[in-house]
Chains A and B, each alone.
Chain A
Amino acid sequence: MMASTHTPSALPSDSVAGDVAKLAAAAAASQAAESAEAEAYEKTHVHGVYEAIAPHFSATRYKPWPAVASFLQSRPPGAVGLDVGCGNGKYLGLNPSVYMVGSDRSASLVALAHSRGRQLQEQQAQEAKKRIAQGELDATTGTGGESSGAAVATEVLVADGLSLPFRERAADFVICIAVIHHMSTRTRRQEAIRHLLRCVRTGQAGQPGGQILVYVWALEQGNSRRGWDEGGEQDLLVPWVLKSQQKQPKRPKQRKGQKRTRDQDSSGVAASNNSGEAPPSEATAGATTAATEPDPGHTDPVFKRYYHLYRKGELEEDVLAAGGAVITSGYERDNWWVVAANEPLPSQST
């Protein structure tokens, strides 16, 4: 499949130029193969898993991260935002005065996000009607102070983070929460951040550019019971147990040699299902397929999701490599986060 075998070269094959060309072709081919391999890997160990666990996963994802909530609340009214990897859409309606569009690789999660948004809309409509009935609203205009701007949480679509369908440089902000750590090579993680940056406006004289907020799982989780910490293995397969009933703890297996985790001798469910987001719930669900494996003695399927655990400073490095400028960054309960913009930095005021 080498491209060089099909392209007759004017140069003798043993010339330096010929070798360089060959090397370049080989490098390109191996890069393409590597990327295809990474893609196939993620299909099994990320996308397939989310498709299968979507309802169960969604039931455990309802609490917004404080840093994400405060970022969203501080966006100006009328700002246009994207949520790349929106999952069940829990952030889409958080600030009713901005317009948000969510995307996710998992069609099942997008469908859940959509119906969740519809429910929110109907709830709000009913509450507004109630308030009108109670005479709290100015019935002549149909709008009232606190009700104006019902949350728009229905705008969702299915897309891959590395092939986003958003008009470039159009959004005021992008959030990408607990997504990039599912990409299995550093090149792909940086590429994903580059795609986010491409979605937001660039800064102009007197006008700050758009910002992205990225949230990833941290390697340094000294205070969590997962047992991961500085110096440990960063690339892991983390089990998700589709729990149908209370049962014995099970042994999670990891992709590579991984330092011992306390999951192995305590409840792997409670620890491992809490994937850097909301507290795990006792919700039950049923599903099949994807990266499961039979667990002798138990009937609950175990799904393994790939994670790259970010070490301190790595997220900022990836932002820089993607051509971004870090505005602020921090750590919040087992996660690293960063707010970044396109170079050059907006004139400092916000």
Chain B
Amino acid sequence: MVLLVLIHFMISVYMHHKTAKMKLLTLNFLTCAVKTCKSSSDSFPLHPKDAELASDDVDVNPELLVNLLPRLDWKALKTTSAELGFPQLPDSPPTIEQLQSDDKLLKDLHSLLMETNLMEGKLVCGVCGHEYAVREGIPNFLLPSHLV
């Protein structure tokens, strides 16, 4: 499985090295722009659809990751990761100590959050069903007038 993912990435990297993209980490901070959806927990995370992914080569920054860990919504990350077909994440996040002492864990998390990118596709709200287009790594959250 890991090997498959790796191969998938290598192909993506080769094909899309220069094009625009958005990190998976950012998805953990995005929700539906519609006011009435925000109160429902189903509006987060947004669900990727027809997603084209690519991988970046980014230096591991252990300090950044350790500090980011408590700011993540782990449950949402687990959902996003599963929806994109990545190996399943554990139910609860690693502790800071685990992350600091386990090099593989650190690298895996780094790879998922910082090196995995969404390039094209849609982000779909689980409440209103609105599909936000992502083009060249840039999602567009401007709402049609009936949703404002």
| Chain A interface (Cβ < 8 Å from any Cβ of B) | 76-80, 97, 99, 101, 103, 105, 107, 110-111, 114-115, 118, 125, 128, 142-143, 147-150, 152, 154-160, 163-168, 170-172
The CA of A172 and the CA of B33, in the complex, are separated in Å by: 20
8 Å CB contact of A160 from B23, B25, B31, B142: B142
Docked-complex contact B71 and A170, CB < 8 angstroms: yes
Q: Is the CB of A159 within 8 A of B71?
A: no
| Contact in complex: B66, A78 (CB < 8 Å) | yes
A-B pairs, 10 with minimum CB distance: A78-B67, A159-B141, A165-B33, A165-B141, A163-B33, A158-B140, A149-B61, A157-B139, A155-B26, A167-B31
Cβ contact within 8 Å between B29 and A111: no
- Knowing A128-B59, A143-B61 touch, does A163 contact B34 (C-beta < 8 A)? yes
Q: How far is the CA of A154 from the CA of B54 in the complex (A)?
A: 14
Residue of B nearest to A101 (CB): B26
Q: Which of A77, A107, A148 contacts B67 (CB 8 A)?
A: A77
B-side residues, CB < 8 A to A, are 20-23, 25-26, 28-35, 38, 44, 57-68, 71, 73, 132, 136-143, 148
- 20 contacts across the A-B interface (CB closer than 8 A): A78-B66, A79-B67, A125-B57, A147-B59, A148-B59, A148-B62, A148-B63, A149-B63, A157-B138, A160-B141, A160-B148, A163-B33, A163-B34, A164-B141, A165-B33, A165-B139, A167-B28, A167-B29, A167-B73, A168-B31
On whether the beta carbons of A166 and B63 are closer than 8 Å, the reply is: no
Among A80, A148, A160, A166, point to the contact of B61 (Cβ < 8 A): A148
Please, which residue of chain B has its CB at the minimum distance from the CB of A198?
B38
Report Cα–Cα, A163/B143, bound state, in Å.
8
A residues near B141, Cβ cutoff 8 Å: 103, 157-160, 163-165
B138 in complex: contacting residue of A111, A148, A168, A170, CB < 8 Å? A111
Contact across chains for B73 and A154 when beta carbons are under 8 A apart: no
Instruction: Please indicate the chain B residues that have their CB under 8 angstroms from the CB of A107 in the complex.
Output: 138, 140
Contact in complex: A166, B142 (CB < 8 Å): no
A159 vs B143: C-alpha distance when bound (angstroms): 8
A-B pairs with beta carbons under 8 A, tally: 118
A155 to B60, CA, bound (A): 18
CB-based contact B68/A99 at 8 Å: yes
Contact between chains at B148 and A163 (CB < 8 Å):
yes
How far apart are the CA atoms of A114 and B21 in the complex, in Å? 9
Min distance, Cβ A252 to any Cβ of chain B, angstroms: 30
Set of chain B residues within 8 Å of A150, measured between Cβ atoms: 58-59, 61
Q: Which of B28, B61, B66 has the most CB of A within 10 A?
A: B61
Q: Which of B32, B64, B148: most chain A Cβ within 10 A?
A: B64
Give the CA-CA distance A166 to B139 in the complex, in Å: 12
| B29 touching A101, Cβ below 8 Å | yes
Instruction: Name the residue of chain A whose CB is nearest to the CB of B139.
Output: A157
Min CB distance, B25 to chain A, in Å? Answer: 7
B148 neighbours in A (Cβ, 8 Å): 160, 163
Q: How many angstroms from the CA of A148 to the CA of B66 in the assembled complex? A: 13
B34 touches A80 (CB 8 A): no
Say whether A157 contacts B140, CB under 8 Å.
yes
Chain B residue, CB-CB nearest to A76: B67
Say yes or no: B60 contacts A143, CB within 8 Å: yes
Bound CA span A101–B25, Å: 10
Q: Is the CB of A159 within 8 A of B142?
A: yes
Residue in chain B with minimal CB distance to A47? B142
Query: Chain A residues with Cβ under 8 A from B71's Cβ?
Result: 78, 80, 170, 172
- Please measure, in the bound complex, the distance between the C-alpha atom of A339 and the C-alpha atom of B62, giving whole angstroms: 30
CB-based contact A114/B137 at 8 Å: yes
